[in-house]
Structure 1
């Protein structure tokens, strides 16, 4: 297998589809994924995706102690649930101390449990109005 990640395989399928389209042959994205899987020795796309997903290093693990910022508030806590969603990871965190998710002096909303999506850099793709990621989890040093 020459591919190193699911993202790389999807990029290869996209390039294959564009190349064939430039030559007058139109195929669906699903067909391009299947062709990439066959080119890499897999029975089908699902098999290739499973192999690549297992081979990719995981940034975070269940029960890891983590720190970071949620809506601008510093936190420490533990990862209680994880799931991969494409290149991103859905994380659920149990915080050691509650954080206030509201920035108004006259109102508070304390949270001890938070959930969010983070990319490979530990930052959520969603941002607040000032451009700050909703959730930032510090990447553990190896």
Structure 2
């Protein structure tokens, strides 16, 4: 879930993008569209959910740090979609690819990753040793 500031920034970017394509909308309409993108019926409902949330997950365009399959990463959030209350599907563009292979003779590089993160900034899915696939430093 984004912060109120991040959601307002998303609305501002959306409005500017639509304006550039020849479609003018009000800031209020842009806020309503951002709320819908996050799975809420209107801006007031999204705003209330943000206010109730204990931990705030990053939003579109935010810079983050964390761990992916045990590897440290720095990334930019390139996708954010509300999944269910308190959970958000986030997509990340990693600053540097990480090699997720356990074998020295084989490389599996990941530059873009995605996962559904809960209010604690971690995925429910985890490795066999109990480490979350993605965990953010919040």
Report the TM-score, using the length of structure 2 for normalisation: 0.62
- 1:56 is paired with a residue whose SS is helix
Match of 1:56 among 42, 49, 54: 49
Q: Which residue of 1 aligns with 2:105?
A: 106
Q: 1:38-91, CA deviations, whole angstroms, 9 ceiling, x for partnerless residues? A: xxxxxxxxxxx6354332224211100000000011000100010011121100
Report the TM-score, using the length of structure 1 for normalisation: 0.60
CA distance in structure 1 between the partners assigned to 2:137 and 2:130 by the alignment: 18
Alignment root-mean-square deviation, CA: 1.4
Q: Which aligned segments of 4 or more residues in structure 1 are displaced greater than 6 angstroms?
A: none
Question: How many residue pairs end up in the alignment?
Answer: 91
* Bigger relative contact order, structure 1 or 2 (CA pairs below 8 A, ≥6 apart): 2
User: Could you list the runs of 5+ residues in structure 2 that have no partner in the other structure?
Assistant: 1-39, 51-55
Higher-Rg structure is: 1
- 1:54 is paired with a residue whose SS is helix
